[in-house]
A = this chain, B = another copy of it.
Amino acid sequence: MKEQNGKKGFTLWFTGLSGAGKSTIADALAPILRDRGLKVERLDGDIVRKSLTKDLGFSMEDRKLNIERVTFVAKLLTRNGVAVLASFISPSIEVRNESRNEIGNFIEVFVKASLDACIERDVKGLYKKALAGEIKDFTGIHDTAPYEQPPTPELVLDTEKLSVEECIEKIIAKLEELQYL
């Protein structure tokens, strides 16, 4: 069930603060993996919150449900030979570990950037709103939404030091090391 052109399905799980660069890296990686003959699906908040999880907000409980549903989808795709690129803040160690256990071929990628750097970038203008109190439960800003760094991720990508290209090189090398490529 797991082979696709002799290769196994897997889920690259990008976790990190809003603005750390998760989706940017995953979006840039997707066509590169497709060029290598892999079937690729992107899962991120903007995609799933339109359909799969449109009833959910950003409370701790709703975030957990969001990730549970995404995990179900990633599991089914992974065991059918798809390379899943999932980018979610997914702030809870416990919830990420449940995803790891459920999905199996799970590669946790910590996309690392300091809170200050993310606030400075503020690509979507969300930090400004969060700091102004216009958004509740914003990860890293509010006590209700702490971000728990992964203690033992398969990969750490420090986006304050590395370019997108360098991040992708590291991911490709890791996938080769783990024999997914």
Contacts and interface: CB of A to CB of B under 8 A. Distances in A.
Interface of A: 1, 39, 41, 48, 51-52, 55, 65, 68-69, 71-73, 76-77, 80-82
A65 B55 contact: yes
Q: Which 4 A-B pairs have the closest CB atoms?
A: A51-B72, A52-B72, A39-B80, A80-B82
Contacts of A72: 48, 51-52, 73
A76 B77 CA distance: 8
Most central of A39, A76, A77, A82 by chain B CB within 10 Å: A76
B80 A52 contact: no
Number of copies: 2
Contacts of A41: 76, 80
Given A1-B39, A76-B41, A69 B52 contact: yes
A112 to B, nearest CB: 29
A72 B52 CA distance: 7
B39 A51 contact: no
20 contacts: A1-B39, A39-B80, A39-B81, A41-B76, A41-B80, A51-B69, A51-B72, A52-B52, A52-B69, A52-B72, A55-B55, A55-B65, A69-B69, A72-B73, A73-B73, A73-B76, A76-B76, A76-B77, A77-B80, A80-B80
